Amino acid sequence: MPETSRPRVGILISGRGSNMAALLAAMQDGRVEADPAVVISNVPGASGLDHAKARGVPTAVVDHKAIKPREAHDRAVLDVLREHRAQIVCLAGYMRFLSPSFVAAYRGRILNIHPSLLPAFPGLDAQRQALEAGVKVSGCTVHLVDETLDHGPILLQSAVPVLPGDTVETLSARILEQEHRIYPEALALIASR
Ligand code: GRF
């Protein structure tokens, strides 16, 4: 299939990158009609970088501590995405709020995964927020990114039960399993349009 029919995907991470791994596997085994372009971490030494390299995907580090302010860091990330001709951007545990100019550069083509049923519990520690609120159902959401944190058109959600005795760890693990399922599905939706 010619490259033009398979969009190129840049993935931004800050840590272990298990969602990144799910996306790479889905693209590389043909479940998602898209190609990995580059994996970028804002954290040097993020363990997800090793996994990407092992899968033969180009990686880059754009250290937010070395490039300030936020707009300059975002410009540097955009430069790497463009260098690798990324057409879609997936945030996968990327612990940075994107500046409006970044959102504008890839509007409608930036996806994020969040471990709650948005609009409930945006921001940090979503699973802890859910437990503290006493909800009986939580889950995860893949959405298009706009200028507001953990906000934008919802692409897919998956609900999971909150069980008696759940801790942040047990609930997070149950949600993560669903994250790895719905993120590739949501990417497939955007890649095919
Ligand atoms: C996931 O729970 C994701 O929903 C949230 O950060 C976590 C990242 O995990 N945005 P991983 O790096 O993909 O393993």
Residue 1 has pLDDT above 50, yes or no: no
Residue 100 has pLDDT above 90, yes or no: yes
Percent of the chain at pLDDT > 90 equals: 97
Active site residue 143: no
Q: Which atom of ligand 1 is nearest to the CA of 140?
A: 4
Q: What is the pLDDT of residue 93?
A: 98
Residue 27 has pLDDT above 60, yes or no: yes
Choose, from 114, 143, 151, 180, the residue flagged as catalytic. 114
Distance 1 CA to ligand 1 centre (A): 31
User: Model's pTM, two decimal places?
Assistant: 0.97
Q: How high is the mean pLDDT of the chain? A: 97
Q: What is the mean pLDDT of residues 175-185?
A: 98
Q: What is the pLDDT of residue 2?
A: 53
pLDDT digits (tens, 9 = 90+) for 128-150: 999 999 999 999 999 999 999 99
Q: Which residues line ligand 1 (CB under 6 A)?
A: 15-19, 92-93, 113-115, 176, 179
Helix (H) or strand (E) holding 91, with range, is: strand 88-91
Out of 11, 19, 49, 129, give the residue to mutate to test ligand 1, the one with the largest number of ligand atoms within 8 Å of its CB.
Answer: 19
What are the CB-based long-range contacts (under 8 Å, 24+) for 63-70? 64/96, 70/96, 70/97, 70/99
pLDDT digits (tens, 9 = 90+) for 30-50: 999 999 999 999 999 999 999
13: tokens are 């991470």
Q: What is the mean pLDDT of residues 4-9?
A: 88
177: tokens are 């399993």
Residue 173 has pLDDT above 60, yes or no: yes
92: closest CA among 145, 56, 137?
Answer: 145
Tally helices (H) and strands (E) across the chain: 6, 7
Name the DSSP letter for residue 34: -
Band (pLDDT 50/70/90 cuts) for residue 4 is: low
Q: Which atom of ligand 1 is nearest to the CA of 127?
A: 2
Residue 57 φ then ψ, to 5°: -95, 135
Band (pLDDT 50/70/90 cuts) for residue 5 is: confident
